Homo-oligomer: A and B are copies of this chain.
Amino acid sequence: MSDQTDQDAAQPPEAASEQTKYAILEAAIKLFGAKGFEATTVRDLITEADVNLAAVNYHFGGKDGLRMAVIDHLATQFRQKGPGVALAGLDQAEIGIMSPEKARETLRFIMKTSFKMAASGGGPDLRARYIQRELIQGGEPTERFFEKVFSFQFNLMVQLVARATERAVDDEITRVRAINLIAQSVFLNLARPLVLLALGWDEYTPENVDLVGDAFWLHHE
């Protein structure tokens, strides 16, 4: 059995057995994100992680157990250094007294920052890519991630949108608009192959990323 070092999963652990678990988790994020859960075999995983075939079942109880462990692993990473709202360092009290202009400015900063984090840095952000895959799929992984991570950040977005558009926070249009903001950032990463084709780009260069930051739909009516 393993001890309780699950709280801190940000950097590689010290104990040998924890290193094995960590290597498998990182390999899973990479391969699940790139090829999808179903298309990734356990033998792909153990080759990438350079561990024994039985390690996945020994440490995580099976491929499905690994899937859930990856969700939790990513959830802690996102809690510590999540994209978007968390970066702005806001709390609800601050948002409540924001001017619409300031709220829009904050939203655009959040959108830019979160997109930049996902898009830049060489290849695709496989962490974000895997999360987005799971969120699309539905079922237990989606609910698990929604509760653990998304719910909190989404509510902050809703409050910012409410200030930005001068509408009530419990207005359903406000909530849909918050989603439609997230949708723009997520889609540009998730459907990257199509987007690059449509824009005639080879990849997301720093110049392209800056340009996208100015193109989000985010105005007052």
Interface residues in chain A, defined as those with a beta carbon under 8 Å from any beta carbon in chain B: 36, 38-39, 132, 135-139, 142-143, 146, 150-151, 154, 172-173, 175-177, 179-184, 186-188, 190-195, 197-199, 211-212, 214-221
Contacts and interface: CB of A to CB of B under 8 A. Distances in A.
Contact of A198 (B175, B187, B190, B220): B175
A211 B176 contact: yes
A184 B211 CA distance: 19
A175 B135 CA distance: 27
Given A175-B199, A180-B215, A183-B183, A194 B150 contact: yes
A30 to B, nearest CB: 16
A131 to B, nearest CB: 10
A34 to B, nearest CB: 10
25 contacts: A38-B38, A132-B191, A135-B191, A136-B190, A142-B193, A142-B194, A143-B197, A146-B194, A146-B197, A146-B198, A150-B194, A154-B198, A175-B198, A176-B199, A177-B217, A179-B187, A179-B188, A179-B195, A180-B217, A182-B187, A183-B183, A183-B191, A216-B217, A217-B219, A219-B220
Main secondary structure of the interface of A (DSSP, over half): helix
Given A177-B217, A179-B188, A193 B36 contact: no
B197 A142 contact: yes
A138 B211 contact: no
Given A137-B193, A142-B197, A181-B217, 11 more contacts: A38-B39, A132-B191, A146-B194, A175-B199, A180-B188, A183-B184, A186-B187, A187-B187, A217-B219, A219-B220, A219-B221
